A = this chain, B = another copy of it.
Amino acid sequence: MTTKKKAVILVSGGLDSATVLALAKRDGFELYALSFDYGQRHRCELAAAAAVAAAAGAKHLTMTIDLRAWGGSALTDDAVAVPEAGSAAGVPATYVPARNLIFLSFATAWAEVLGARDIFIGVNSVDYSGYPDCRPAFIAAFAEAARLGTCAVDENWSYRIQAPLQHLSKAEIIRTGTALGVDYALTTSCYNPDAAGRACGHCDSCALRREGFAAAGVPDPTRYVIK
């Protein structure tokens, strides 16, 4: 009997990370899904993350961290409104300062304890919101910091920060996941859902998701407030 290699996968409850989880499963990893209750406005994504992890047969852990302690984002400060899609140039108000740096740091810690060398994250450079912490240069720099900041450096190996969606369009991501049997009805992407978890249909994240399903020719299972 062989032991499966372990991987830590950042799972938000969104479309992208559900696809990443399916890719890690396809690659034969034992799955350790990590989510964060960070004070996000769209907290309903945590139930989606649990459902996505359960559907993939992953062990799932939700870490609570209070990024509202300092805010600085439309997602972690109720005084900052979620912008409409395409309403501003540059890094949008939904950018959460250093979020992926924090998330990957926790993933590295869990990986070190588990003896896992692979960490998966659903960052993307094509249909994305312009966040600096989703770019390949950041992922490469993080991998080096993780190597040097853990026992990996003394044992002469490196963490593999796997970002398999990096260069895919939203439509390609949806086709990839659909082929792997991902049930996107379990996922949620909206930054500004209503109390019932229905998507607003107007934020950046809704726009990217809706256009992705249309371009992929896959029926959009999203529950919108306004159809």
Q: Helix, strand, loop or mixed for chain A's interface?
A: helix
Contact A112 B98 (CB under 8 A): yes
Contact B149 A70 (CB under 8 A): no
CA distance A194 to B101 in the complex (A): 35
Closest Cβ–Cβ distance, residue A137 to chain B (whole Å): 5
Of the listed residues A96, A98, A109, A135, the one surrounded by the most CB atoms of chain B closer than 10 A to its CB is A98
A 41-78 binary contact with B (CB < 8 Å = 1; else 0): 00000000000000000000101111101111000000
Closest Cβ–Cβ distance, residue A65 to chain B (whole Å): 6
Does A157 make an interface contact (CB < 8 A)? no
Contact A133 B113 (CB under 8 A): no
Quick check: which of A17-25, A138-146, A166-174, A209-217 contacts chain B, the rest being far away? Answer: A138-146
Q: Which residues of A contact B (CB under 8 A)?
A: 61, 63-67, 69-72, 90-91, 95-102, 104-106, 108-110, 112-114, 132-133, 135, 137-138, 141-142, 144-154
